[in-house]
Amino acid sequence: MTTREKIKAVLNSQDSAYQIQQMTGVNSSIIIRLRNHTRSIDHLTLNTVEKLEKYFDYHVKYNQSQTPASVELSYFRHRLINLLQELYEIQQAKAESDDARPDERAMTAAIEQLFNDVITDKLELEQLERIYQNAIGHIEKPTLN
């Protein structure tokens, strides 16, 4: 699947422009203009293209092939994506710093692969969600509003 096809799939998904913005950092107005055909995919920055492509790889493709079995699993998956994205961004900043350790780029690549593996493997995701549910135990569960 080409990058252009991935971006079109993101735009054609049921996800709101706001949701895509929250997950990618791409402004919702850009998503809306792309959906309304008042902006062309050809005029996106490389950074925006990469963010939308990652969103497809980690979210749209997963949702097309496997719908989470429950609201709780869906909530957990969404939270896990956000936390792994934060971890990846922190690691990426470390790798790009002037005083980076020699293996920082390798660790960034490893985290990116971990992110991809966990988010696309439904069985692994369900196992992690069970661990989460056991650990949360007596703590008040977050609302799913």
Residues 4 and 54 reside in one and the same domain = yes
Residue 89: how many other CB atoms lie within 10 Å: 13
Report the chain's C-alpha Rg in angstroms: 17
Nearest to 25 by CA among 55, 5, 3: 55
Co-location of 30 and 81 in the same domain: no
- For the whole model, what pTM was predicted? 0.47
Residue 78 and residue 26 share a domain: no
Check whether residue 73 and residue 119 sit in a common domain.
Answer: yes
Q: Is the pLDDT of residue 144 over 80?
A: no
Domain boundary among 43, 65, 87: 65
pLDDT reading at 142 higher than 80 = no
Confidence at residue 34, expressed as pLDDT on a 0 to 100 scale: 95
**Where residue 64 falls among pLDDT bands split at 50, 70, 90?**
low
Counted domains in the chain = 2
Tell me which residue range forms the domain holding 7: 1-65
| Statement to judge: residues 47 and 93 lie in one domain | no
> For residue 85, is pLDDT > 90?
no
Q: Which of 65, 97, 119 is the last residue of a domain?
A: 65
Confidence of residue 145 (pLDDT cuts 50, 70, 90): low
